[in-house]
Amino acid sequence: MAKTRILIVGGGFAGVYAAMGLERLVGRDPDVEIGLVSRENYLVFQPMLPEVISGSIGITDTLAPIRRLCPRTNLYTRAVESIDLKRRRVNAAAGFGSRQCALEYDHLVVAVGNQTSFAGQPGLLEHALPFKYLGDALVLRNHVIHVLEEADIERDPEVRRTLLTFVVAGGGFSGVEAIAELNDFVRRSARAFRNLDPREIRTVLLHAGSVILPELPESLGRFAQKVLVKRGVEIRFGTRLHGATAESAILASGERIPTRTLVSTVPSAPNPLVASLPVRKDRGRIVVDEFLRVPDHPGLWSAGDCASVLDRATGQPHPPTAQHAIREARCLAANLVATLRGRPLRPFAFSALGKLGALGHRSAVAEVFGVRLAGFLAWWLWRTIYLMKLPGLDRKLRVATDWTLDLLLPPDIVQLKTDRASSIRREHFEAGETIFREGDRGDRLYVVVDGEVEVVRKDAALGEVVLCKLGAGESFGEIALVSEGVRTATVRSLTPVNVLTLDRETFHSLFAHFPPLRGFFEDLIQRRLAPPMG
């Protein structure tokens, strides 16, 4: 008799708790095989991510290795490339080497969650820091330390102001938790920098509504506002973020806040894998029945943020939170096993236990079973509940130790440069910005993706001379790269411009070894260095 193969796609709360539920029910049944495909080999305990910013929790301590949570599941640490419902097959990315990996299944659980998306906001993709995944928290932490390092040795007051302004967009749970931790961390860390005056630091929260934390009753939102303002956070109400450049946050009103640190807790977008599935969807989420089955697709199940599960009390879909994902996953596992065993299924029913929002430094707001809490008690409750929920005894012990040490020790200001400055990246400029100045170091090549720029040079007699205008597909900045010198002209954007940029090393390794490119750039440089282009 062939084994029944259950495959789970997604390593978040829904996927991992589904595997744990299945293991409990059929893990020792030799006729059932459980597989889980996850991009990472760990489950991120999201509620503690903000504390990774400040380093009060060790980097890996919010992560639980999936293998230890579900030891009887085959874990495939791979990205999923496509799902073929007809052939009942999931294609995973290649590991070492280039062989593809096709996984066949009898039952498939889709639990891929959603994604962040900056679509429609110019410059955010290029210059805003998202805040959803562990990687985001690490990048943000290192970026903040980098900014402090630079501010400490910067003398230009305007540049200092830009470096020492920190903006978070979005006054919901994640935005508030992010600004609270960021504010605490920046202000505590600044003490280790000899040339920084704490009064130079500005932290700003942008919020579209009139009271923050709209998920909670207004009184708690107002309490949270008071706490944040007392700690030095500036809250801008009725304000929406329009876009960003490398040096500013642009508000919908047109106002610009000069900053090098813009955190955006962005609205989530459907996962492209979900979008590609030929099943019924509601606002991008897979519609499932009350048993968490996908209608008309026997053997297909879904739970978590990517599934639209109706709350039978309200008729509305359940919100995409961890609490719901965990309960849905357990119910799904029970119903899947009941289906295998020919037993009756049970419908999903759950009402949220409560909502908790941390405000950093021993304060929080909470609504639990309808009771409102604020301040130290809510914070204590927050820590206790999340420590209990943190999967795995070893993580509990590590986080408890972290918290104890954090009471005793100053914040850790080590800057781990994990993300090497990427060799090829995108940048966005609004109209009228200077992309580089004559005399600057030439460290990147630019290719215009869309928009228009002008190349100008100062002339002793004529003042500023426009040498040329460049549009999509044209490149600039190659002269200083090849001569290893400084910029021979200034380039400014005439319209909003998106560019692709290559760093010096990439430019050289690519063009040294690739004759057609070398030829192209040699011609281009010769043309541009010849009069009248100067």
Q: Which of residues 486-505 bind a copy of itself (CB under 8 A)?
A: 500, 502
Out of 252, 377, 517, 529, the only residue in the binding site for a copy of itself (CB under 8 A) is 517
Return the DSSP state at 102.
E
74 contributes a contact to a copy of itself by CB under 8 A:
yes
155 contributes a contact to a copy of itself by CB under 8 A:
no
Q: Which of residues 297-316 bind a copy of itself (CB under 8 A)?
A: none
Q: Would you say 156 or 296 has its CB closer to a copy of itself? A: 156
Helix/strand/coil (H/E/C) assignment for every residue in 386-450:
HHHHCCCHHHHHHHHHHHHHHHHCCCCCCCCCCCCCCCEEEEEECCCCEEECCCCECCEEEEEEE
Q: How far is the CB of 489 from a copy of itself (least distance, A)?
A: 14
Q: How far is the CB of 373 from a copy of itself (least distance, A)?
A: 31
Contact between 391 and 69 (Cβ < 8 Å):
yes
- Please tell me the distance from the alpha carbon of residue 163 to that of residue 173, in angstroms, as a whole number: 26
Segment lying near a copy of itself (by CB under 8 A), choices 58-66, 200-208, 229-237, 367-375: 58-66
Segment lying near a copy of itself (by CB under 8 A), choices 54-62, 279-287, 297-305, 365-373: 54-62
For the chain, how far is it from start to end, CA to CA, in angstroms?
Answer: 79
30 contributes a contact to a copy of itself by CB under 8 A:
no
Long-range contacts of 99-105 (CB under 8 A, 24+ apart): 101/76, 103/7, 103/35, 103/37, 103/76, 104/5, 105/5, 105/6, 105/7, 105/35, 105/299
Q: Would you say 359 or 448 has its CB closer to a copy of itself? A: 448
Distances (CA, A) of 65 to 29, 136, 159, 387: 24, 19, 42, 16
As a whole number of angstroms, the longest Cα–Cα distance in the chain is 91
Q: Would you say 368 or 510 has its CB closer to a copy of itself? A: 510
Out of 295, 319, 410, 485, the only residue in the binding site for a copy of itself (CB under 8 A) is 410
Q: Which of 39, 40, 117 has its CA nearest to residue 81?
A: 39
- Please tell me the distance from the alpha carbon of residue 344 to that of residue 506, in angstroms, as a whole number: 61
| Region label for 120, one of left (φ > 0), alpha (ψ between -120 and 50) or beta (otherwise) | left
413 contributes a contact to a copy of itself by CB under 8 A:
yes
Count the site residues for a copy of itself by CB under 8 A.
Answer: 85
Q: Which of residues 134-153 bind a copy of itself (CB under 8 A)?
A: 135, 145-147, 149-150, 152-153
157 contributes a contact to a copy of itself by CB under 8 A:
no
483 contributes a contact to a copy of itself by CB under 8 A:
no
102 contributes a contact to a copy of itself by CB under 8 A:
no
Find tokens 């100062």 and name the residue.
Answer: 458
Q: Which of residues 249-288 bind a copy of itself (CB under 8 A)?
A: 260
Q: Which of residues 416-435 bind a copy of itself (CB under 8 A)?
A: 416-420, 422-424, 426
Q: How many CB atoms lie within 10 A of CB 420?
A: 7
58 contributes a contact to a copy of itself by CB under 8 A:
yes
Out of 3, 31, 41, 282, the only residue in the binding site for a copy of itself (CB under 8 A) is 41
Q: How far is the CB of 485 from a copy of itself (least distance, A)?
A: 12
